[in-house]
Amino acid sequence: MEVRAVAKYVRISPQKVRLISDAIKGKPVEKALATIKFMPQKAAGIVEKVLRSAVANADQVPDLDIDDLIVGNLTADVGPSLKRFRARARGRGTRIIKRTSHVTVVLTEV
């Protein structure tokens, strides 16, 4: 049995979220939440929110024990990018790409 939670169009680069996901993938949910709590990155707060949402989704399944859940998979896929321009010297403009990501957490039973 597996339970999912998804956060879409999050205004952070997927590369930064993947650093957090590698640290908690395969851990029990309680240990993963404890690990994320002490990480200073912005992505840690986003992943924690999605992880808590997945636990709340698992709570709705009647025959599923929350204490036996592990973080089975955590992916950060690329979302649409916001394209902006910044003024530079001599009347030029350079492109700034503001990346977004879709964060998916999948919890599985042991």
- Is 110's pLDDT higher than 90? no
Residue 86 near residue 97, CB atoms below 8 Å: no
Tokens representing residue 22 in the block: 């590698």
CATH number at residue 22: 3.90.470.10
For residue range 34-75, what is the model confidence (pLDDT) as tens digits?
999 999 999 999 999 999 999 999 999 988 888 899 999 999
**Percent of the chain beyond pLDDT 70?**
100
- Is 103's pLDDT higher than 90? yes
**Domain encompassing residue 43:** 2-109
First CA to last CA across the chain, in angstroms? Answer: 10
Domains held by the chain: number: 1
